Structure 1
């Protein structure tokens, strides 16, 4: 039976596909760590109280990268090169979503609009991450090899999502509501396209590694296109709604260490 659970089990059980999966994940998380670190350093004076939370966000992303690399190391595997067509973070930047790396590399303070753009980008991408990790936690939370990592990362992603809701609502109350909604919509519509393209690319690589039949690969591609159609028709709206989270001040403390992985 073709299901998310069976597909991921197939990927985890094969060293080469597991190597690619962890390498792609580690690269994206490490990139997110760098971005958050630069944003924290450039936050405008009026929002300096937000800097420790952004720093915590970046520390979590760095930790996730180390966890995925540690999972590779435990199998005696080295990180693999990440194919450009599977680089979710880079492809989002190319579509103008979030803050450009050129902006972050400059030593010029960000504006309030820049901070809102960062939070809106995070609101959308953390929704994707939280949804994916919730699925993995459901099926693999007790897996002897990856279960602990899945549970830890899933909890962190839920914290990140709660944080973006709370901070964007704070900015909305301060009069930035229209800009927030426009930015969220732009981010969400771009993200669902990038997610579709990356998903197709990742599945194509996995199919070659695992020797999937043309029929199986075609069926998976149909499923990815169907998910994109659903999101394009209205599913994207779940990524732009804002509500006060149950987890308040979710990034108000230090990052949870992961000594057992890295």
Structure 2
């Protein structure tokens, strides 16, 4: 029976597919760490209180990248180059979602509108990350090889999602509600399309590595397109709603370490 659990187990059991999976994940997390670090350094004076939280967000992303690289190392594998069409984080940036890297490489302070754009982008992408980790935690929280990593990263993603809700609601209360909703909608509609395209590219490469039959590949492709259709028809709205989270001030302290993955 084809299921999310059996699919990931198949990827996990094969060194080459596991190598590709971890390499893609490590690359995306490392890029997210760099982006958050630069944003924290360029926060405008009016929002300096946010800088430690943004830096914490970046430190978490860097930690996740190290965790995925450590999982590779434990299996005696090196990271592989990430094909462009599978690089979700880079493609989002290339399509103008979030803050452009040219702006982050400059030494000019960001504006409050830039910070709202960053938070809205994070709200959307952290929803995707949190949803994926909930699925992995459901099936692999006790797995001897990846269980610790899954639990730790899942908890961090829940913190990141809570943080974006809380901070966006703070900006909305300050009169930015219309801009926030417009930016969230734009980000969400672009993200679901890019996520579909990246998912198709990743599955195609996994299929070649694992020798999937034409029928199995077609079924997975149809499933990805069906998910996109659902999200395009209205499922994207879960990515733009805002509510005060149960986890308040989720990024208010120092980043947690992961010594077991060092």
TM-score relative to the length of structure 1 = 1.00
Look up the match of 1:250.
250
Rounded Cα–Cα distance in structure 2 between residues aligned with 1:257 and 1:95: 33
Alignment of 1:29-44 (within 5 A): 29-44=29-44
Cα displacement (A) at 1:17: 0.2
For the aligned residue pairs, the C-alpha RMSD in angstroms reads 0.3
2:221 alignment partner in structure 1: 221
Residue 118 (structure 2) pairs with residue 118 (structure 1): yes
Separation in 1, partners of 2:96, 2:80:
27
Aligned to 2:199: 199
Are 1:234 and 2:240 matched, yes or no?
A: no
Q: Tell me which residue corresponds to 1:180.
A: 180
Secondary structure, in 3 states, of the residue corresponding to 2:260?
coil
**Alignment match, 1:140:** 140
Q: Distance in 1 between matches of 2:6 and 2:171?
A: 42
**Secondary structure of the corresponding residue to residue 260 of structure 1:** helix
Please list every run of 5 or more consecutive structure 1 residues that lacks an aligned counterpart in the other structure: none
Q: What is the CA distance between 1:163 and its match in structure 2?
A: 0.0
| Rounded Cα–Cα distance in structure 1 between residues aligned with 2:231 and 2:16 | 31
Counterparts of 1:90 and 1:34 in 2: how far apart (Å)? 12
**Matching of residues 95-114 of structure 1 within 5 Å:** 95-114=95-114
Q: How far apart in 2 are the matches of 1:103 and 1:138?
A: 39
Aligned counterparts of 2:241 and 2:27: Cα–Cα separation in 1: 28
Alpha-carbon deviation of 1:258? 0.1
Q: Does 2:63 match 1:66?
A: no
Unaligned runs of 5+ in 2: none
Listed one character per residue, the Cα deviations across residues 74-96 of structure 1 (whole Å, up to 9, x for unaligned) are 00000001000000011111211
Q: CA deviation at 1:130?
A: 0.1
1:93 aligns with 2:93: yes
Q: Which runs of 4+ in 1 moved over 3 A?
A: none
- C-alpha displacement at 1:100, in angstroms? 0.3
- So what's the TM-score if we normalise by structure 2? 1.00
What residue in structure 1 maps to residue 54 of structure 2?
54
Q: Give 1:196 shift.
A: 0.1
Q: Deviations over 1:108-162 (max 9, x none)?
A: 0000000000000000000000000000000000000000000000000000000
Distance 1:162 1:145 in 2: 28
CA distance, structure 2, for counterparts of residue 161 and residue 113 of structure 1: 20
Report the number of matched residues.
262
- Residue 22 of structure 1 corresponds to which residue in structure 2? 22
Q: How far 1:71 sits from its partner (Å)?
A: 0.1
Q: Distance in 1 between matches of 2:214 and 2:54?
A: 44
Q: CA deviation at 1:191?
A: 0.2
Q: Distance in 2 between matches of 1:175 and 1:223?
A: 40
